[in-house]
Amino acid sequence: QINIVNLLDKEVREIVLVRPKSVKVFEEGINQIERWKNACPEVELYMGNEISMYDQMKKSRLFLSMVCGTAQLESFSVNFPTILYWSKYHEIREEALPVFQKLIDVGILHQSKQTLANKINEIYKDPINWWNQPEIQTAKNLFCNKFAYKSNNWISHWKKELISL
């Protein structure tokens, strides 16, 4: 993560907020807070639990997720500008690969630190404009329809699916 932040332009680094997945100060014997402060003193760290991810997103321009998990699913579901970095695919089923490839094709999912940093540097001033492009929304919606589907009528959908099984 520090390597990625260091690839960002200075003006971008100055507005970055890092929200580690854990509030543990010591992880694997390394003081993560000191490590961040020494490596990237301009970066703000949020180590608390008082502010929800959603409330923090309301104050943010762009959400970066480095794992395939719930946070990414939630940011996609609320249609918040999201960019992903996975150095490699996490055990993805063969039939799901085309959906993830679409995310790569439109610049949402990156497997290189440099391409990720380049994209963030390119869009950080107005990520909403980037996010609302039709090809970005199409790829995100394809992903959501497969893996993060939401509906106001979800009980009916679940009932129909369970009955079909």
**Which residues are CB-contacts of 9 (< 8 A; sequence separation ≥ 6)?**
121, 124
Q: The tokens of 44 are what?
A: 């703000």
Q: Go through 56-89 and write b for each residue having 16 or more CB atoms within 10 A of its CB, e for each that does not.
A: ebeebebbbbbebeebbbbbbeeebbbbbbbeee
Indicate the burial class of 1 (C-beta count within 10 angstroms; 0-12, 13-18, 19 or more): middle
Banded model confidence at residue 125, pLDDT cuts 50, 70, 90: very high
pTM: 0.82
pLDDT of residue 105: 97
> To the nearest whole percent, how much of the chain has pLDDT over 90?
45
Q: The tokens of 69 are what?
A: 């998990």
For 79-99, how does the pLDDT look when each residue is reduced to its tens digit (9 = 90+)? Answer: 999 999 987 656 778 888 899
Higher pLDDT, 2 or 139: 139
> Residue 26: is its pLDDT beyond 70?
no
DSSP code per residue over 108-126: SEESSHHHHHHHHHHHTT-
The answer to whether residues 135 and 106 touch, using CB atoms and an 8 Å cutoff, is yes
